[in-house]
Structure 1
Amino acid sequence: MDLTVNKLVHINQVVDDFEGAAAFYTDVFGAREYWRGYDEDQRRNASLFVIGDLCIELFAPVDADSLLGASLARFGNSWHSFEWQVPDLEQAHAALDERGVRVTTYRPGEFLMVHPGDCHGMLLELCPLEMVGDPRIEPDWSAEPWRTGHPLGVTGLHHLSVAVRDLPAATAWLTGLVAGAEIVHSGPRDEVDADATGVRVADHVVELVSPRSAEGPVAGYIQRFGQRLRSIEIGVLDLDRAREHLEGKGLRITDGSRAGAFAIIEDDNWGVRWEFAQTPAG
């Protein structure tokens, strides 16, 4: 049984300052928050917001004893996971069981989360529901304000990138798990001493990137964090204009993971790597 994925719902980030991170995303990216709340079982505050068609969820654990609190204590402010919408959560659970993937959190009819150690570092959250208040499901939704009305000129998510140790094995696992998944690009990432393969899953691309040696930044990331989500790449209309906007906010810029891309230094961006390019990898 394959896993059917409808779409990417959101990408999850763990932070130690809920209000500070939310204010940062509003100021720098023009984020529009549409929900926030507290989960007693997971002992964390959360916020959902959109930047164009991309949705980010902030997790802010209130103590170190929860799974999210342990993640924050170990990794600091960092990427955590990404969520796929699936048509049937129980069938999705069965597809994972067939492959020996451990499910660490399961609320029947609501969502589940997997153990990343069974998924080449991909910490997946699966949910059959639409997010309450998500403006992207409204009939009059448009991402145009972020494209033409904001100095970043956001055109959309190019890909999310997961650092893996074994590129062929991770690629085979992902394409073997998700129904209809297809490889859309594959090749060197000389800028980070790595190789990459992009796999289209429903409406987005998951790029798997693996180091060629023990010396490059991808290798260093895996040594520090293990296999996990490393970065996202956002499309923009004009790289120079986007860079000027970000530097005007006091953010330091560095080279991206491929030619024609740049990134915000993680320490200036709540611990996570956002990269920007005008055209998708291909």
Structure 2
Amino acid sequence: MSAEASASPDSAAAPGVMVIALRMSLPNAPPPMASKAIVAPVSRIAAVSSCANRDYFTLTMSLSARLLHSARQNTQTRNDFDVEIFVAGHAQIAVQRVIHTIHATYDLHACRLLYQDALGGLVFAENYFPAEDRDCALLYVTNHSIEPMAPRTRDDMSKGFARMTSKIGESFHSFELKVEDGPAASQAIRDAGGVVASDYGFFFFVKPESTGGVLLEVCSSTMPNDPYDRPGGWGPSVGTGHASSVLQLDHIACVTSEIEKAIHFFTSVLDGRVIEDGATALPQDGRRVLLSVGDIQVAFIQPDDTEQGPLGAFLNKPQNGIYALVWRVKDEETARDHFEKRNLRMTKSACISSGFAIDPEDFFGARHEFVR
């Protein structure tokens, strides 16, 4: 039995409930019966795909006999019916762009200077956020913004950022998405079963258990003094020509043990899409899914063995999912020469790309890889 249905939120329905109008066609049945209204819990709606109209949806459903009987009787079903959704449409959260990647550190000044010297980072703002007692700098490396961030009082465990930095150490903390409406995005993620934290309205975080392993920041405001918002915008051509020969961000690489959950969150709750899905052997056997999210690409890698190898080691330590930022360079030898002159050690060990990396110990715990 199958049914095609159009659905819309019903303001009269209880929270967490969606009204679905069904138009059903049954094998060997009389002409299609009239549309019937039923009530379905939003939590049962999965496998979401985008649709052009954000207010109305198209669903293809496999219905249990009990649900079908209820629809035939033109009554409202109880919320405990058994229904499997194969394809569903809803108003996904549109990601306008990826604003930046946060790099947690204890030495903001030295970390910022390293980005400037090693990668040609251009600083456009610095600020202090009293609610979390943390300082930050905002800079661009070609087309991608980095936000080195440090707790002002590192031992004050009453502050969320100090607690998180004490847990994961100096490393990549999260990356941030720009959306139109922060409170609406927060509600939509919670309605989809996600867990949010540090929700200040205009920005909030989505916990890794909801995203497939990566800590995500979502924001509806612009960054102070951000050149991206100036006439003409900001792109990879701005800031190129640096001695490192870095051209642009290739992708953000995340490691997960829940790759299906990551795919679902980024392509169902958010409006990302899958570009590639296949096997990888870098740096160990596993599955790699490359996604388009906003204006950049994000790769999720799940090792076949989540206990062994460099990726297993990563998964079994405190971390927020971001394994590396992978940059595209014009010339590998030029980049290597530049890094060597700054006493930055380089390695091909544990690289998630075909290129090389600066030893994370030389970059405040963050792994930067470089490919042609």
Counterpart pick for 1:30 among 120, 126, 135: 120
Contact 1:5-1:201 at 8 Å conserved across structures: yes
Q: CA RMSD in A?
A: 1.6
Contact 1:189-1:257 at 8 Å conserved across structures: no
The CA deviation at 1:142 is 5.5
The CA deviation at 1:95 is 1.5
In structure 2, the partner of 1:14 is: 104
Q: Secondary structure at the match of 1:272?
A: coil
State the distance in 1 between where 2:280 and 2:362 align.
24
List alignment gaps of at least 5 residues for structure 1: none
The CA deviation at 1:137 is 2.1
Counterpart pick for 1:69 among 162, 174, 178: 162
Q: How does 1:168-207 map to 2 (within 5 A)?
A: 168-179=260-271, 181-193=272-284, 194-207=286-299
Of Structure 1 and Structure 2, the greater helix share is in 1
Counterpart pick for 1:150 among 232, 242, 248: 242
Q: Kindly provide the CA deviation profile for residues 51-76 of structure 1, in whole angstroms up to 9, marking residues without a partner as x.
A: 11110011100233111111221221
Q: Kindly provide the CA deviation profile for residues 71-107 of structure 1, in whole angstroms up to 9, marking residues without a partner as x.
A: 2212211110111100111221122011221221122
In structure 2, the partner of 1:40 is: 130
State the distance in 1 between where 2:152 and 2:235 align.
35
In structure 2, the partner of 1:241 is: 334
Q: Kindly provide the CA deviation profile for residues 247-278 of structure 1, in whole angstroms up to 9, marking residues without a partner as x.
A: 2211111113132x111111011101111112
Matched, 1:117 2:209: yes
The CA deviation at 1:44 is 0.5
Q: Kindly provide the CA deviation profile for residues 197-229 of structure 1, in whole angstroms up to 9, marking residues without a partner as x.
A: 011012111111111112211111001125611
State the distance in 1 between where 2:182 and 2:297 align.
22
What amino acid does structure 1 have at the position aligned with 2:172?
W
The CA deviation at 1:143 is 4.1
Point out the more displaced range, 78-87 or 248-257.
248-257
What amino acid does structure 1 have at the position aligned with 2:313?
G
Contact 1:189-1:258 at 8 Å conserved across structures: no
What amino acid does structure 1 have at the position aligned with 2:359?
I
What amino acid does structure 1 have at the position aligned with 2:357?
A
Report 1 or 2 for greater relative contact order, CA contacts < 8 Å, sequence distance ≥ 6. Answer: 1
State the distance in 1 between where 2:319 and 2:125 align.
31
Q: How many residue pairs are counted as aligned between the two chains?
A: 274
In structure 2, the partner of 1:90 is: 183
The CA deviation at 1:172 is 2.5
In structure 2, the partner of 1:52 is: 142
Q: Kindly provide the CA deviation profile for residues 129-187 of structure 1, in whole angstroms up to 9, marking residues without a partner as x.
A: 2212111222244543532x2122222111111111022332223211212x2111222
Contact 2:213-2:321 at 8 Å conserved across structures: yes
Cα distance change of structure 1 residues 114 and 168 upon mapping to structure 2, 3 Å threshold: closer
Matched, 1:221 2:314: yes
State the distance in 1 between where 2:260 and 2:199 align.
30
TM-score scaled by length of structure 1: 0.92
List alignment gaps of at least 5 residues for structure 2: 1-90
